[in-house]
Structure 1
């Protein structure tokens, strides 16, 4: 159980590094959805589409090297060569992209249907974000989780602060001060949002600059080829994953009638944010388990610990699913400040369950990562992307963004099934499928009853939560007490 305790502590720290910044970032949603800050719901929809392209290009610029770094850092004797080779590779590719993107910015604007003035800011942000991939990975590999945490928190505090300054303070004081007179421009809200992002990304790189000063720039071509060979399937999987994650906004913008597309995307994206609690937990958990997978691969019977890990994730994830659904109508008042967005609330249970499945998939992916069969990760993610695309093309014309939510759930659910199926063949892990399935089914049943039968009836909702927590405590008492001992 000591390995599980260690993972629990790592997840808590990475949770702070992920949850606290995202919770600060969470305030951007009520900021953007407050009447008068953005000109309309459609403006929020445009921002959401641009951030969707962000996700896709971030994956391309990383091209699987972060995962390859973890694998080879724990596998190779010459760790300095792994660090140097990774840094040089990503540095060269990032600056080549930067130069080409600036050169062809007009063509990119036409393809993506995004204004050139936004494209320029996005290109700079993508470069800065690419240059911190290996420094952050190095902190995780060295288990310097506290430093990782405070840099992440500083990044979002700056981003949030600048958003508040540009979108709230500046318009109210335009012309009253020399500073506001120089900085304020009407109808410049989207630019201000990306300028805030750019500044925070630049400061993050500055905070990590010491990494670049103290590493050894050793480049081994043979090592680089092996890392690329390992990373390529991860890149394909990443692109496929980004399609599952964000491509629905892009498809909605292309497939819905032009006069309603941005508004529909704005409502969908805002209500999607209510799944943030599950997303935060799944992300923090992934950050904790990825180094754990590799570092424990050579221990005695690691499969037992991997099985415990999935049970722990599903237990907490199922509780989060029910908790968010029960209090969804309270959360929407806090997070989504305008009633214009609430029409899309029906997607909340669907997206929550989808992200529970995604977190399970990250847990189940251990088998192909530690056996160097990353091509299976690509195959599974591609299958998920195909499911996403097919269902979006089929359902968007019929039920709009609800079809996108269903497609997301179907994609992640199918990926869980495929990963479990192939994992049993190549790296059997004794998962307690009966217990895992029972927790998910009980949580889902209570969630559906709460959302569709007893909506906003908090006496019943809280009773459901207490019953489920009692079930968890009965079957997980020893594990819970063990984790809380220290």
Structure 2
């Protein structure tokens, strides 16, 4: 019980910043879809897909390496790893600055090289601040971590509102002070999203200033070789995982036949799918918050608390929490879509959301199980698993996008996540066995499918839509209460067996 309380407490603390931050950040979907049509947002969907991949290259697995080795000599490994990250980030960013214009022309955005330069600076800041943030997590300085993240996101949302909800309407409607109208340049358009991101990221240096003032340039070739041997498989694993997450958006526009969706271009389809995809953020919140708390815990020094049985217990409750999110969000898409996707054109792709939520659930289970190859220094196994998952995604998208459109993207991702979870489970049981409650997980997921499908069946009944769509969700909650809790004197207590 203590392990659940400890991890739950830290997950909720990180989750507060993650959920509040992402919720505020999610307002950006509202702002962006109100300001631009899908085709105009296609450049952002595509470039942020590449940014997510580049982020991994910029940090090349050093965050996990820091958690793995910092317990031996915290300051030494902090200085050594941060030195390496600063040097490589500078080189990568310089390269992107030099080749920004031809790269954007190659991507089909001639004359938009400034967007690439802004993104290069965003990538550099993300990489350089990653290790100070990792140290805050390791030292359990959650309050500072939360404050820095939330203020940065608040600033990002505020700048988006300023550029797109104030200056853009002023310039287009020719109202308000002239000097404000002149601050908005239509040629930049959706590029203001990148500019707001850059300015808000720069604010992180203020909150992390103490982490940089006590930083000392350090280099040790022998130690760096050891770190690279450990971290490079993690980088390739993370790259494969990110390609798995992003490749559907990169392939959709390429393989979708012209006119597949009547009256919609390929750019429209990409914008619709990319913004509907963002509704799966609800599952990503739980996964990210859990990773923030669990990674330093389970990769720390060996103790009774981070035993395989406790990992299995934590994983069981992770599945339950994710199940509640999956069914709860899927059952309420009928009003969520109108709240966050402000133009009805985006609602056409809403069917991908339950599939993507379930895919993220499996991906979260994979992350909880992946502790074994990080603890046993078999990080290459993670690379093998994620590359296999990537192959499944690629094959599924290439074959089925021309037949099923963006639904093929969603189901390919789901299939990939299931394959990765199964492979990770098999490998874990061989090298670092844990008594996972896999049968209970299968039952819960099956009940979730039934609960979501019941909404379609009951929609024809003459009862309020909110009730018909949530009957299955309520049944799931009741089942969890009866199954996972024992009731004594009218008070619930967890059943831990």
Q: TM-score, normalising length from structure 1?
A: 0.94
Tell which has more relative contact order, 1 or 2 (C-alpha 8 A, sep 6+): 1
Aligned pair partner of 2:356 in 342, 351, 359: 351
Deviation, structure 1 residue 296: 5.6
Unpaired stretches in structure 2, ≥5 consecutive residues: 259-263
Q: Which residue of 2 aligns with 1:189?
A: 189
1:275 aligns with 2:280: yes
* Partner Cα separation in structure 2 for residue 478 and residue 245 of structure 1: 39
Map of 2:477 onto structure 1: 469
Map residues 92-111 of structure 1 onto 2, 5 A cutoff. 92-111=87-106
Deviation at 1:205, TM superposition (A): 2.4
Q: 1:189 to 1:221 in 2, by over 3 A?
A: same
1:217-228 matches, cutoff 5 A = 217-228=217-228
Alpha-carbon separation, structure 2, partners of 1:49 and 1:135: 29
3-state SS, counterpart of residue 190 of structure 2:
helix
How large is the RMSD of aligned CA atoms in angstroms? Answer: 2.0
Q: Which residue of 2 aligns with 1:405?
A: 410
In the superposition, relative to structure 1, how do residues 63 and 402 fare at CA in structure 2: closer, same or farther (>3 Å)? same
Q: Residue 377 of structure 2: which of 369, 372, 376 is its match?
A: 372
Give the aligned partner of residue 152 of structure 2: 155
Q: CA deviation at 1:112?
A: 3.2
In structure 2, distance between residues paired with 1:157 and 1:452? 41
Pairs within 5 Å for 1:49-448: 49-74=46-71, 76=72, 78-114=73-109, 115-174=112-171, 176-177=176-177, 179-257=179-257, 260-295=265-300, 297-299=302-304, 302-448=307-453
- Are the counterparts in 2 of residues 325 and 450 from structure 1 also a CA contact under 8 Å? no
Whole-angstrom CA distance in 1 between matches of 2:16 and 2:493: 21
Provide structure 1 residue ranges, at least 5 long, that are not aligned to the other structure.
none
User: Equivalent residue of 1:99, what SS?
Assistant: helix
Q: Give 2:38's aligned residue.
A: 41
Count of aligned positions: 479
- The answer to whether the Cα contact below 8 Å between 1:21 and 1:153 also exists between their aligned partners in 2 is yes
The answer to whether the Cα contact below 8 Å between 2:458 and 2:468 also exists between their aligned partners in 1 is no
1:467 Cα deviation from its structure 2 partner: 1.5
1:357-401 deviations in whole A, cap 9, x for unaligned? 011011010111111111111111100111111111111111111
Query: In structure 2, what is the Cα distance between the partners aligned to 1:189 and 1:481?
Result: 54
Q: Are the counterparts in 1 of residues 319 and 365 from structure 2 also a CA contact under 8 Å? A: yes
CA shift in 2, pair 1:217/1:117, >3 Å = closer
* 2:134 alignment partner, SS class: helix
Deviation of 1:295 after TM superposition, in Å, equals 2.3
Match of 1:14 in 2: 14
Q: d(CA) in 2 for partners of 1:50 and 1:123? A: 11
2:350 alignment partner, SS class: helix
SS in structure 1 opposite 2:213? helix
Once the two structures are superposed, residues 283-340 of structure 1 have per-residue CA deviations (whole angstroms, 9 ceiling, x without a partner) of: 1111111111112634367011101110010011111111111111110011101111
Partner of 1:459: 467
Shift, 1:178, TM fit: 5.3
Aligned match of 2:261: none
Which structure shows the higher helix fraction? 1
Quote the offset at 1:131 in angstroms: 1.1
Question: Is the Cα–Cα contact under 8 Å of residues 46 and 262 in structure 1 kept in the other structure?
Answer: no
